[in-house]
Amino acid sequence: MFVDQARIVVRGGAGGNGCVSFRREKFVPRGGPDGGPGGDGGSVWLVADRSLKALNAFRYVRTYDAERGRHGEGSGRAGRDGEDLVVRVPPGTVILNGEDGGTLADLLHEGDRFLAARGGRGGRGNSAFATSTHQAPREAEDGMPGEERELILELKLIADVGLIGFPNAGKSTLISRISAARPKIADYPFTTLEPHLGVVDLGQFRTFIVADIPGLIEGAHEGHGLGTKFLRHVERTRVLLHLVDVSPASGRDPVHDLEVIDRELSAFSPSLASKPQIVVATKIDTQPPKERARDLQARCEAAGVPFRSISAVTGEGLRDLLETVWPIVQQAARSSGAGAQPNEEERPFS
């Protein structure tokens, strides 16, 4: 199961208490106070780790507590500080405040860190309260409690290309043909219940990552179907491949399907409408597909949107589509200030 949202509680460790102690040693009649301070509590850090792909680990463990600081001791000995707790999350995780939903951090890259809960300060021992007029203090400070927070973790997949479209538009079949990803493929709606990533290799060190985004139907931005669950993943992509089923068996109007999904993207996030998009007529191996694709192509040409026709089953048009995608991905990467796609060591999975 792919988990892309989790709610957790993080607690910094409490600080150790200061110690009340007096030096007791032979031949030292007035040794004075020697209570040491308590140690500071450990903090909770969230760190992006590219070896993780989802938030599945947070299904069973919801509370994360850092180690508390040890209490101070006599002879001026300070308590040991508590160990920090490092909680690893996949890159692309957005951290939200559990109370108001505000964004606290966006751990986009490997090694990005966020201080989720600060540990409490250790209390002072009685030696810290000694003065010339108060030479035998019997007071010490208690350690401060650690910070406690409720957080919401949301994962947004990081991919160059997002496959969008109505259920059964051919997204899973396409990603299985152009990469090593093997999603479930069947002829009923909502076959795909979780996003899939695949790495496309065009040769000559040209690679990019494709994400199959499931669950887009009319009203998706209002929660219909699976839309709101996975629409967030589209925000990370640089280029959208909008797949439209033009086969007669679908019984759908290709132009209407195109307009519906575009409206859903705009309603969910206006920035999605500005992403580069390529409209792809799928299942052209069926008969007669060309007549049904003609109006769709005219609509795209009028809007200045690139249009391609493919059959993922026979492979017709796939190479031309990928070669069209590559320069657009490169241009989008340069515009965002990022380099072109990961090398072999950085590939997420395929």
Q: Give pLDDT tens digits for 194-239.
A: 677 788 888 888 888 888 877 665 544 444 445 556 667 777 788 9
CA dist., res. 82 & res. 15, Å (int) = 8
Average pLDDT of 84-105? 93
* Residue 256: how many other CB atoms lie within 10 Å: 12
| Helix (H) or strand (E) run with residue 257 in it | helix 254-268
Instruction: Give the integer Cα–Cα distance in Å for 164 and 189.
Output: 14
pLDDT single digits (tens) 7-52? 999 999 999 999 999 988 888 777 889 999 999 999 999 999 988 8
What does the chain come to in residues?
Answer: 350
* 161-346, CATH topology level: Rossmann fold (3.40.50)
Given this model, what pLDDT does residue 149 score? 95
Q: Which residues belong to CATH 3.40.50.300 in the chain?
A: 161-346
State whether CATH 2.70.210.12 applies to domain 1-155: yes
* pLDDT tens digits for range 270-326: 777 788 899 999 888 876 666 778 888 888 998 889 999 888 888 889 999 999 999
pLDDT of residue 221: 42
Average pLDDT, the chain: 83
Secondary structure string (H, E, C) spanning 42-92: CCEEEEECCCCCCCHHHHCCCEEECCCCCCCCCCCCCCCCCCCEEEEECCC
d(CA 64, CA 81): 18
Give per-residue pLDDT as tens, 113-138.
999 999 999 999 999 999 988 888 99
Does residue 273 contact residue 261 with C-beta atoms inside 8 Å?
no
Number of H helices, E strands in the chain: 5, 14
Range(s) within the chain of domains with CATH label 2.70.210.12: 1-155
Q: Which two tokens stand for residue 283?
A: 């299942």
Distance CA 338, CA 328 (A): 14
* pLDDT above 90: percentage of residues in the chain: 38
Confidence of residue 345 (pLDDT cuts 50, 70, 90): very low
